[in-house]
Amino acid sequence: MNNSIFSWIGDETLLQGLVAGQSTFVLLIVIVVCIAMLSLGADWMIDGVVDLAERTGLPKIVIGATVVSLGTTLPEAFVSVMAAYMGNPGLALGNGVGSIIADTGLIFGLTCVLVAVPVNRFILNRTGWVQAGAATLLVLISIAVYFMTDGDHPQLNRWVGFLFLGLLVIYLYVTYSWAKQGAGVLPEDEVAEDELMSVGKSWLLIVGGLLLVITGARILVPSASEIAIRFGVPDDVIAATMVAFGTSLPELMTAIAAIRKGYPEITVGNIVGADVLNVLFVIGAAAAASPLVIPMNFYYFHFPAMLIILYSFRVFISMNKEGVFHRWQGVWLLGVYLCYVMLQYGLNIESPH
């Protein structure tokens, strides 16, 4: 029995064989169901983790930048690690990069259009630079690997993955230290004790959500790969649009809930934290599991799009001296994201693949 469970988790041929026998319509339904499982699972985890975190008295923006972003980034992490393990490097790398573009361009851009989002300079002047810096480090390492590779297939080796995971530990520790230092600067969270759920229920939500995320991610990867094969679309193109958007749904749901409850600062922290984690956690864990081949279109398309969006966000933080993001800035981020998606499909149509 245990052997069959481990085979189900690790053996690509079991699910791939089942997926290959299904119609395209059925596969699309399966993908929608998996995305719903990822979103529901992450939502449960957020409820449980935030409840536990609020007992520590950390400000909401710090919770958003750490525990909430960890919870909402787990779908990307599981999808990417499994994709790398199952031999789909384009899916793994594309999902991490595509999620950064979707989180910041689509979700945060949409949030800025809908509501006035506060700029917490104490947090954003620090984590905002980590956000841009982590992505820049990924691109610089990728460029260095390209020039040092003799063959046609530059790749992020496992040492890069372990480097990113080491930086992740440092990032989490430093973020916690910043939160302690800024306790007098940041607004205090007011949490009524009777509003907190039991510790047992919190852990039940966390564990149950984690199981949903693992199951949904395990089925989503081969289903998305099969769709890509049938339509003649490269794995990284599918990952950077459909799958990346799907696994970014937890961030979108968190943003909508935060706006509805009047706490848009949670969205800011969540997006910034998720972008950092997409590089250090998602791509780092995937590269540590298996070397990630870097497709050539990342160099001239995906990486530039990611940096344009992230450095636009960084400039907006510096510009907004009055302490709020403006609607036109959200329109800019949304516009860059839409151009990215349209160009991607256009380039794919013209591709000889």
Q: Residue 323's pLDDT is what?
A: 81
Measuring CA to CA, which residue among 348, 303, 284 is closest to residue 98?
303
Q: Residue 186's pLDDT is what?
A: 45
Question: What tokens does 306 get?
Answer: 């990611």
Q: Which positions ≥6 away from 46 have C-beta within 8 Å?
A: 68, 71, 72, 209, 250, 254
The pLDDT tens digits of the residues spanning 120-146 come to: 776 677 788 899 999 999 999 999 999
Q: Residue 196's pLDDT is what?
A: 64
148 pLDDT more than 80 = yes
18 pLDDT more than 60 = yes
158 and 221 Cβ atoms separated by less than 8 Å: no
The pLDDT tens digits of the residues spanning 213-264 come to: 778 877 877 787 788 778 887 766 665 566 666 667 677 777 777 777 677 7
Q: Residue 337's pLDDT is what?
A: 93
* Residues recorded for the chain: 353
175 pLDDT more than 70 = yes
The pLDDT tens digits of the residues spanning 57-115 come to: 666 677 777 777 877 787 778 777 877 777 776 677 888 888 899 899 998 998 899 88
Q: Residue 283's pLDDT is what?
A: 92
pLDDT band at 31 (very low <50, low <70, confident <90, very high): confident
Please state the three-class secondary structure of the chain as a single string.
CHHHHHHHHHCHHHHHHHHHCCCHHHHHHHHHHHHHHHHHHHHHHHHHHHHHHHCCCCCHHHHHHHHHHHHHHHHHHHHHHHHHHCCCHHHHHHHHHHHHHHHHHHHHHHHHHHCCEECCHHHHHHHHHHHHHHHHHHHHHHHHHHHHCCCCCCEECHHHHHHHHHHHHHHHHHHHHHHHHHHHCCCCCCCCHHHCCCHHHHHHHHHHHHHHHHHHHHHHHHHHHHHHHHHCCCHHHHHHHHHHHHHCHHHHHHHHHHHHHCCHHHHHHHHHHHHHHHHHHHHHHHHHHCCEECCHHHHHHHHHHHHHHHHHHHHHHHHCCCCEECHHHHHHHHHHHHHHHHHHHHHHHHCCC
Q: Residue 333's pLDDT is what?
A: 96
Q: Residue 38's pLDDT is what?
A: 79
Instruction: Please count the structural domains in the chain.
Output: 1
Q: Between 212 and 197, name the one with better pLDDT.
A: 212
91 and 236 Cβ atoms separated by less than 8 Å: yes
- Average pLDDT in the 192-203 region? 66
Segments forming the whole domain that contains residue 307: 2-350
Q: Between 58 and 35, name the one with better pLDDT.
A: 35
Q: Residue 339's pLDDT is what?
A: 92
The pLDDT tens digits of the residues spanning 277-335 come to: 999 998 999 899 888 888 888 898 999 999 999 999 999 988 887 788 999 999 999 99
Q: Residue 159's pLDDT is what?
A: 95
Q: Report the phi/psi class of residue 262: left, alpha or beta, with left for phi > 0 and alpha for psi in -120 to 50.
A: left
- Structure pTM? 0.76
Most confident segment among 8-17, 47-56, 199-208: 199-208
What sign results for the dihedral spanned by CA atoms 226, 293, 249, 331? negative
Q: Residue 189's pLDDT is what?
A: 45
- Average pLDDT in the 21-38 region? 87
Q: What is the CATH number of the domain that holds 180?
A: 1.20.1420.30
Most confident segment among 48-57, 198-207, 318-327: 318-327
What does the alpha-carbon distance between residue 180 and residue 286 come to, in Å, rounded to a whole number?
A: 31
